[in-house]
Amino acid sequence: MPSNAALDERRIAALPLGVSCSNAIYADRGENAELWDVEGRRYIDLVGGVGALAVGHCHPKVIAAIQAQLGRFNHTFFGTIPYEGYIALAELLNERCKVGGRAKTLLVTTGAEAIENAVKIARAYTKRHGIVVFGGSFHGRTLLTMAMTGKVIPYKQSFGPFPGGIYRAPFPDLYRGIDVEHCLSALDTVFETEIEATAIAAFVIEPLQGEGGFIPAPAEFMKGLRGLCDRHGIVLVVDEVQSGFGRTGSLFAVEHMGIEPDLIAMGKGLGAGLPISAVVGRAEIMDAPGVGGLGGTYAGNPLACAAALAAIDVLDAEGLLDRARAIGARFTAGFQRIQNKHRSIIGDIRGLGAMIGVELVNDAETRYPARSLTAQVIKEAANRGLLLVSAGRHFNVIRLLLPLTISDALIDEALSIFQDALDAVVSEGGASNFPAAVQV
């Protein structure tokens, strides 16, 4: 078996620079919330395929479902030769998704593809072109979804020009003093200075921002958006690609906020690691595009449908919505204990359910983002057997996207490693020696 170093040399020679890897740790096998590299070292995996592995690595029910489907057929293209798995998954999602009425489902392949199709559907339904998105958002890496994404480096730099018709408004961030009243007022300014409300097809929003720093939208803000959409005939699209499928303690994060959207875009945890995504929405909106206007070669691939049906069954059978809330409470309590020791560094602990973010700062008063410190903590944690990933406009938020099947023992071990890694980095350099917020 090649070593990590040998594989990294091959990666650098064979892959373009833009395909980044934060760790030179090459996976050999995984089980639940643990991963082993090619050199046999074991890690606790709190990255979880960046949210794709809600039911963990290699869940037996998921593996069995994929193997059973593979023994029958692995692909046809649903647009020419359909199959039951696509229909069964659509029926299940229609039943579970709350979208203000009878639902219909489109299956596609990636999160960005789900967002693009949600935009197409909203434009077809409203006969309008404008799309309003929000600061700090991440919606994908295609040209349209890059235009919608609110972060230049690394996602947008040198890739423009981007498609038009995209307008941006601020997203509430209570930790940094951006309140609901300001954000709702800013939408009025968008209507006055950028585009009239009657030309807007959709608001597209993450109810709990992912790449933006694990910032939950306040319920008051989401209710304000729902009211504006109802008043002006705008479609409300929620991007639940990262926050969906039980991660927040509900099937979708928007369920915490007391409103129902018109369309839900989802992916990641839906497929238990296989590439599949979906748009679920009110039937009359979903039916707006004409025959042949939606689809794709791999959209709703039968293997991915089988994995998704099995993953939803696991969520139900193992009570993972309740488990997500318990995981979140245990991690939050642990991080708060660590915060008591490092109050000048751990600025905020936030999220919903098991979708927790820990924001690191250089100073508790100024809340200056500790980008360099965060990167070094993540590196030190990996050296000690804990896999973490950052988020946020300044890359200073450590985010948890762990499998919801993780045990309490692994949670406690992960918290212990995190504390040791933070202690080691701070004692070596001191928080004030870690400059932050460069190149954002």
Name the pLDDT band for 255 (thresholds 50, 70, 90). Answer: very high
Predicted confidence at residue 433, as pLDDT, reads 47
List helix spans (H) across 71-165.
Answer: 84-96, 111-126, 143-148
Rounded CA gap, 423 and 176, in Å?
26
Residue 130: is its pLDDT beyond 70? yes
Q: Which helix (H) or strand (E) is 321 found in, with range? A: helix 320-341
The mean pLDDT value for 121-150 works out to: 97
For the chain, the average pLDDT equals 95
Name the percent of the chain lying above pLDDT 70.
98
Can you tell me which residue has the tokens 């197409």? 120
Beta pairing class for 34-37 and 27-31: antiparallel
Residue 326: is its pLDDT beyond 50? yes
Rounded CA gap, 111 and 251, in Å?
17
The mean pLDDT value for 30-47 works out to: 98
Closest CA to 384 of 9, 3, 21, 23: 23
Locate 298 and state its tokens: 């791999």
Question: pLDDT tens-digit profile of 379-425?
Answer: 999 999 999 999 999 999 999 999 999 999 999 999 999 999 999 99
Residue 435: is its pLDDT beyond 90? no
CA distances from residue 140 to 88, 113, 122, 333 in whole angstroms, order as listed: 27, 8, 18, 33
Predicted confidence at residue 94, as pLDDT, reads 98
Name the percent of the chain lying above pLDDT 90.
94
Locate 248 and state its tokens: 């927040």
Predicted confidence at residue 295, as pLDDT, reads 96
State whether the Cα torsion 300-303-307-312 is positive or negative. positive
Say whether 241 sits in a helix, a strand or coil.
coil
Closest CA to 179 of 218, 213, 208, 143: 218
The mean pLDDT value for 134-149 works out to: 96
Residue 436: is its pLDDT beyond 90? no
- pTM value? 0.95
User: What is the number of H-type helices and E-type strands within the chain?
Assistant: 13, 15
Closest CA to 274 of 90, 400, 107, 434: 107
Go through the domains of the chain in sequence order and give each one's CATH number: 4-55+319-433 (3.90.1150.10), 62-317 (3.40.640.10)
Can you tell me which residue has the tokens 């804990």? 386
Higher pLDDT, 436 or 195: 195
The mean pLDDT value for 229-255 works out to: 97
Name the pLDDT band for 194 (thresholds 50, 70, 90). Answer: very high
Question: pLDDT tens-digit profile of 64-91?
Answer: 999 999 999 999 999 999 999 999 999 9
Q: Which helix (H) or strand (E) is 105 found in, with range? A: strand 103-108
The mean pLDDT value for 258-265 works out to: 98
- Residues forming a β-bridge with 264: 238, 280
Under 8 Å between Cβ of 252 and 34: no
Name the pLDDT band for 430 (thresholds 50, 70, 90). Answer: low
Residue 432: is its pLDDT beyond 50? no
Residue 431: is its pLDDT beyond 60? no
Residue 146: is its pLDDT beyond 90? yes
Question: pLDDT tens-digit profile of 106-116?
Answer: 999 999 999 99
Locate 65 and state its tokens: 């479902």
Locate 263 and state its tokens: 């369309």
Rounded CA gap, 296 and 39, in Å?
39
The mean pLDDT value for 152-165 works out to: 92
Under 8 Å between Cβ of 46 and 401: yes
Across 187-343, the runs of DSSP E, i.e. the strands, are 200-205, 235-239, 263-266, 277-282
Under 8 Å between Cβ of 240 and 265: yes
